[in-house]
Amino acid sequence: SQQGEEDPQALSIQEGENATMNCSYKTSINNLQWYRQNSGRGLVHLILIRSNEREKHSGRLRVTLDTSKKSSSLLITASRAADTASYFCATGRNTGNQFYFGTGTSLTVIP
C-alpha cells in the first residue's frame, strides 16, 4: 500500500507553541500534499512538495520531505486555537492519478 501514515495520531499543545506532524509512506512518490480538515468539513489543501524538493514554506507552515526515509513532516509555528483540526498527508505517484491519504493527526491547540 502506498498510503501515508501520520504520527502522532493526536497532538495537544498550547497556543503559541509549534506543532510537528510526521507522515511516512511506503512506495516511491511524485509528490506529497498536506491537507487540513475541520471536524465534519471538507478538505483544504495546504501545501504540495514535489519529490525533488526537500523543504517548502507557506506562511506559518513548513514542510520537509526526505525521500530516502520515505517521510515528510509538517511544522506549524506559533500555533493558534484556529489551527485545531485534523491534518492529513496524501501521496501521489503520477500527475493524473489518485492520491493516497493517511489516517491523519488530530491537532488540538488550547487557548
Q: Which of 85, 88, 107, 109 binds other proteins (CB under 8 A)?
A: 88
Q: Which of 11, 48, 61, 75 binds other proteins (CB under 8 A)?
A: 48
The reply to whether 102 sits near other proteins by the rule CB under 8 A is yes
Cα 106 versus chain centre, distance = 11
Burial pattern 58-94, b for ≥16 Cβ within 10 A else e, equals: eeebbbbbeeeebbbbbebeebeeebbbbbbbbbbbe
Name which of residues 3 to 32 contact other proteins (CB under 8 A): 3, 30-31
The reply to whether 39 sits near other proteins by the rule CB under 8 A is no
d(CA 9, CA 21): 9
Shortest distance, CB of residue 40 to other proteins, whole angstroms?
Answer: 8
Q: Quote the cell numbers at residue 34.
A: 498536506
Binding site for other proteins (CB under 8 A): 3, 30-31, 33, 35, 40-45, 48, 88, 90, 92, 95-104
